[in-house]
Amino acid sequence: MKQTPLGLTIDNAGLRYPNVNQAILDKLSMQIPAGQWTCLLGRSGSGKTSLLRYLAGLLDSNVEWQGNVICSDGLALQQRIAYMAQQDLLLPWLSVVDNVCLSYRFNKQKITPEVTEKALALLDQVGLLAVRHALPQTLSGGMRQRVALARTLMQDKPFILMDEPFSALDAVTRHKLQQLSYTLLKDKTVILITHDPQEAVRLAGRLYILTGRPAQAEHIALPISRPPRDIDADSALVQQRIFHLLEQDYA
């Protein structure tokens, strides 16, 4: 059944690690539009990964969090997210298709022939049906990240949290994988953390830069063209502006 994409509002958020004086985030507000990619940029240590990990429920319970995270349907965010990290996190002891079906092992759902069929269909979509029985270590970096994408799609969650999933790939593979991910995740609400302004401008439906200490989110206006964007004069200007803001923040 096709789901209606959901949006997310982060309102007045603050985040502080225990025994650290300065907060990581303070009074941070963001609108994550439904069914689009929201890209987060920022210098290293700006708090973007902390924010993503908080949304994924991966931070320790003793982290101090303030503010509200509101889904557009009013329900809780927990258990409605899928997570893609910089590493593909494929389990080396499972075959490609078993990695794709991993979520079913944990949800008291049996891996029925229908489930396997769905996994194989997804592997076909990412162009990896031929290596379905291979172990992950026999695949290249780009292929492994495509398996991770199929695993994410298999979870079929409305929110996809991505922490630099393309950063370890070479330029051409990255470009192709961005295109593929954008196509396959078209009905999902995606939050992508990246260090690459070009990637952000290419994929973003909405773009924020986390600046300052503690960090606040600054909204950056994007070219009117629809993502995934080709490099043109408008997107080059936005990239230039991002570099300018990041340089200021690093100073």
Partner 1 sequence: MPDLSPLASTPSRHQHTGQKSTQHRTRSASLVRGVIILCVMLALWQGLIYAFALPSFILPTPLSVLDRLVARYPILLDHTWVTAQEIILGLLLGLSMGLFFALQMLLFKPIKRWLLPVLIASQAIPVFAIAPVLMLWLDYGIASKVVMAAIIIFFPVTTCCYDGLRNTPRGFLDLAHTLQASRWQQLIHIQLPAALPALASGIRVAVVIAPIGAVAGEWVGSSAGLGYLMLQANARMMIDDMFAALLILSLLSVVLYFVTDFTLKRAIPWEH
Residue (62 or 79) nearer to partner 1, CB: 79
Q: 27 or 175, CB closer to partner 1?
A: 175
Residue 92 binding partner 1, by CB under 8 A: yes
Measured between its terminal Cα atoms, the distance across the chain in Å is 50
Smallest gap from residue 128 Cβ to partner 1 (A): 7
Residue 186 or 244: the one with the smaller Cβ distance to partner 1 is 186
Of 182 and 239, which CB lies nearer to partner 1 in the complex structure? 182
What distance in Å separates the CA atoms of residue 5 and residue 72, rounded to the nearest whole number?
Answer: 9
CB of 183 to partner 1, least distance (A): 5
DSSP 27: E
Q: Least distance (Å) from partner 1 to the CB of residue 89?
A: 5
CB 188, CB 14: distance < 8 Å: no
Q: Does residue 62 interact with partner 1 by CB under 8 A?
A: no
- Identify the CA nearest to 91 among candidates 142, 131, 151, 49: 151
Binding residue count for partner 1, defined by CB under 8 A = 42
Of residues 101 and 242, the one with the C-beta less far from partner 1: 101
Residue 192 is a binding residue for partner 1 (CB under 8 A): no
Buried b (16+ CB within 10 A) or exposed e, 14-49: ebbeeeeeebbbbebebebebbbbbbbbbbeebbbb
* AA letter at 187: D
Cα(164)–Cα(185) distance, integer angstroms? 16
Q: Which of 70, 120, 135, 168 binds partner 1 (CB under 8 A)?
A: 135
- One residue of 40, 97, 126, 185 binding partner 1 per CB under 8 A: 126
Residue 115 within binding range of partner 1, rule CB under 8 A: no
Q: Which residue's structure tokens are 């965010």?
A: 77
Q: Return the closest-CA partner of residue 68 out of 36, 35, 31.
A: 31
Which residues contribute to the site for partner 1 (CB under 8 A)?
53, 56-58, 79, 81-83, 85, 87, 89, 91-93, 102-103, 105-107, 125-128, 130-131, 134-140, 142-143, 146, 155, 173, 176-177, 179-180, 183
